[in-house]
Structure 1
Amino acid sequence: MTIDTSTDANVRGLFDDFGAFSTPTPADFSSVLTHGLVSPDANVLLNLYRYTEQARADLLSALGALGDRLWVPHQVLVEFWRNRETTISDARSTSAKAAEEISDHSTQAVQTLRTWANRVALSDDDFNDLRDRLTEIFEEVRKKIKEVGEGEWQHIRHDTSTDPVIAKLESALVGRVGSPFSPEDRTTMTALGNKRVADRVPPGYMDAKKDGDGAVGDFFVWEQLLREASRRQCDVLFVTADAKEDWWRKERGHNRGPRPELTAELRARGGGRLFLLSPKQFLEVAAPVLRLSLQAGSVEDIERVERIEARDTCGGWTREALDALFHGLKYEGYTNRVDVIRYAADAGGEVEAELVYDLCDYDDDRTLRGFTKPIGRISRKLQGQGLIADSAVQVLKAEYRNGPGPASGFTVHPLLVPLINSGGDEEES
């Protein structure tokens, strides 16, 4: 006998309570782009100042083509205006700083050449020839950096009346920005946001250490987005360059979609399905749906900016730099260090000393003193090559929980755990 369950409220399906685990299809994205609510985060708008001119134009065209589906939470513009001038100054100074560093490297290279020439008694003519060729190459690179920088920024100004980014945004956002909280509502939402941060309720708890109302900024964006989605009763696509775990569901370091808590909260507030995309993904998905013709290199440039931002959120490291570290350790015969780092990351960031002995097949009487030195030395080399930031965090650190004496274990920096777990070219065979 067949049981009719069509009216049974207690009968559930595979994705009824687990919508966040359903991989979006092209049809899903087409639907939300043409009938849903599409909202960019503040970092998406600010990154317009970091892209090349063509990438900037393509992303602005995509936002403009959304029409009334485009909607921006008021808090997004609060953060945009708060950070706009700093973003412009930082981006504008990038080329000048790079050109200055190239000049410094040129001076150092000539000094190194001079020291070597003196030691091998190189003739003055040969030295002068090598020096001139060396400085010519550095000068050529410096001029190219300056030329590119000035070309990209010749129209960008702090003055909003002459800033082409502001001109495009102003026309695209007319009537498409939400209202601010009332003073009373803001007080209530601030208290609620701080409680959510303390309880690690997404989004925003990863910003707990930010000053002022920075810790509740993401919650403000989310709450305003929830209210508009509830009013429209539609699906939501949130475009963000934020890759932190309080927005994304992470699987071995990869962003697999929105946090299940966010999906459930949107549903509970009367909205539809929640989608999250990075700016690069948004441009790739939106182009065919909105019938946009992207310029060559736009997607790649947006991806470049995302990689830089990922390094900033991964303790100064990138996937490329981490692979270089692992390759260097293996090349020098320290494969066991890679094994320990991977094991610790997979275990949540810690590994006990006893397990290190097992992983490295060490005798019990061997000391672990200096175990992290090869890691530190190669890391400093990568800093010198510019592969990691000068402020890059220490990959593996010895812990002494039992006081002075032998290390009790080792820890991988929390910011690096997702990056290590994401695998890469140097994955274990």
Structure 2
Amino acid sequence: MSQEESPPIAGGSGLFDGFEGYRTPQPGDYKEIATSGLIALDANVLLNLYRYNEATRNDLMSLMELVSARLWVPHQAMEEFWRNRETAANGAWASTQEAIEALEKARRATEAAMSMWAKKTALADDPRDEVLGELGPALDRAVRSLNAQAEKDRVKGAQDTALDPIVTRLARILEGRVGPPLPDEDYATALEEAERRIQAKLPPGYRSGYKDNAYRADDYLIWEQLLRAAANAGCDALFVTGDTKDDWWRRNRGRALGPRPELVEEFRRRTGRMLFMLQPQEFLRDIGSAINANISPTSAVEVERVDHLLKATPETNERSVIQARLDAAMQRVYEVAEDFVSGT
């Protein structure tokens, strides 16, 4: 019997059978998801709409509108959105004021330092006034720049949900697309399972074990609700999240390659379908490309930039975004002072 005629080995399987979590998704996978799958959004995807610039915000929401028939938000993710919405909406503007206060503090400190330096070196008033004359306009320009950018990017009317354009637009996009909470008995069981996974360091959610008890189960609750929704829908699912902790992602040299294989296997076991995951910037690029959406390449860059800043100091969120602009302004102040000193 030739090799071509040899019968298959009993019980044999293919290369990816049982190892689907290591397969690299292809454009066709995303096209199928966008047309017939389930696209689940994490709370951070919605909250970060308040942190992006206006153009990026519009691109992301336009893409959400194009795939709205496939969108779904776990009830727990929506609860997190409402819990944190006001902080996110107010954060950029409040952080701008903090940055301006820091600049004014730097102005006062610089003036005091220059006066002290002038006294100790018996420097005449003219050289001291010259450098202060350079620093003052530089600080004024920095303050104007921060105010202008904050005014451009802030969401006007965010204090009133009836006037908030993000809430108004999301209400239309997500009408009928938010999942139900778990029944009371199932919720209690899920809390126990979340705690078990935290203690055993099983994904997802064990990296949230440091949180207050009221919120440490959030990630697992989202996961359980996603599993149930995909099983009921009988389709593959894409989870879009800005959470890059390694209890969600399989990583190589720091790069997130896809969902952890354990999650892919649990998803397949519970739903019989395939799990995909993307970060928001990848959602813009890959899903946008799959459906030929008119998305600016700069929007994905802006999403990645802001998300990187937020992750750098997660406890201060919006402040870290403004801090980058403040650092640039202060660098100019230091350059002016250094030029003056080196020239004296």
Whether the TM-score (by the shorter chain) exceeds 0.5 is yes
Among residues 1, 6, 25, which one is paired with 1:3 in the alignment?
A: 6
What is aligned with 2:190? 189
The CA deviation at 1:286 is 2.0
Question: How far apart in 2 are the matches of 1:101 and 1:289?
Answer: 45
Tell me what 1:177 maps to: 178
Task: Give the Cα–Cα distance (whole angstroms) in 1 for the partners of residues 159 and 234 of structure 2.
Answer: 39
Superposed, 1:288-307 pairs within 5 Å as 288-295=289-296, 297-307=298-308
Show the counterpart of 1:58: 59
Whole-angstrom distance in 2 between the partners of 1:171 and 1:262: 31
- Give distance in 1, aligned partners of 2:112 and 2:219: 50
Alignment-derived partner of residue 338 in structure 1 = none
Look up the equivalent residue of 1:5 and give its one-letter code: P
1:37 counterpart = 2:42: no
The SS at the match of 1:87 is: helix
Q: Structure 1 CA distance, aligned partners of 2:210 and 2:315?
A: 16
Q: Note the C-alpha offset of 1:256.
A: 1.4
CA shift digits 1:197-248 (9 cap, x unpaired): 2222211000012113311111111111111111222211111010101100
The CA distance in 1 between the partners of 2:157 and 2:278, in whole Å, is 27
Shift of 1:386: 5.9
Decide which structure has greater helix share.
2
Q: Deviations over 1:99-127 (max 9, x none)?
A: 11111112222333333333443321222
Structure 2: tracts of 5 or more residues without a match: 318-325, 329-344
Q: CA RMSD in A?
A: 2.3
Measure how far apart 1:84 and its partner are. 1.0
In the alignment, the residues of structure 2 paired with residue 194 and residue 256 of structure 1 have an alpha-carbon distance, to the nearest angstrom, of 27
| Equivalences, count | 318
Pair 201,312 (structure 1): closer, same or farther in 2 beyond 3 Å: same
CA distance in 2 between counterparts of 1:303 and 1:156 reads 26
Within the alignment, does 1:72 sit opposite 2:64 as a pair?
Answer: no
SS at match of 2:239: strand
Aligned-residue identity in percent: 37
Is the 1:103–1:139 Cα contact (8 Å) retained in structure 2?
A: no
Give the deviation of 1:315 after TM superposition. Answer: 12
Matched, 1:217 2:218: yes
* Corresponding residue of 1:13: 14
Listed as ranges, the matches of 1:119-138 within 5 Å are 119-138=120-139
Alpha-carbon distance in 1 for matches of 2:293, 2:119: 61
Deviations 1:274-321 (A, max 9, x none): 1111111111112222332224632222112111122136999xxxxx
Whether 1:90 aligns to 2:91 is yes
Tell me the equivalent position of 1:285.
286
Distance 1:22 1:156 in 2: 45
Partner amino acid for 1:57?
A: N
Contact 1:229 1:271 in 2 (8 A): no
Q: Which amino acid aligns with 2:166?
A: V
- Aligned partner of 2:90: which letter? S
- Aligned partners of 1:235 and 1:273 also within 8 Å: yes
Could you tell me which residue of structure 1 aligns to residue 116 of structure 2?
115
Question: 2:292 is matched by which residue type in structure 1?
Answer: R
Q: Is the 8 A contact 1:232 1:271 kept in 2?
A: no
Q: 1:271 & 1:221 partners in 2: Cα distance? A: 19
Q: Do 2:28 and 2:290's aligned partners in 1 also have CA atoms closer than 8 Å?
A: no
Instruction: Report 1:221-232 matches (<5 A).
Output: 221-232=222-233
TM-score by length of 1: 0.70
TM-score normalised by structure 2 residue count: 0.86
| Secondary structure of residue in 2 paired with 1:30 | helix
Secondary structure of 1:130's match?
helix
Q: How does 1:19-418 map to 2 (within 5 A)?
A: 19-153=20-154, 155-295=156-296, 297-312=298-313
Per the TM alignment, residue 67 of structure 1 is displaced from its structure 2 partner at its CA by: 2.6
Residues 56-114 of structure 1 show CA distances to partners (whole Å, capped at 9, x for unaligned) of 11111111111321111111101111111122222321211111111111222233333
- Contact in 1 for aligned 2:247/2:260 (Cα 8 Å): yes
Cα separation, 2, equivalents of 1:173 and 1:276: 20
**Structure 1: 5+ residue runs without aligned partners?**
317-384, 388-429
Please list every run of at least 4 consecutive aligned residues from structure 1 whose deviation after the TM superposition is greater than 4 angstroms.
313-316
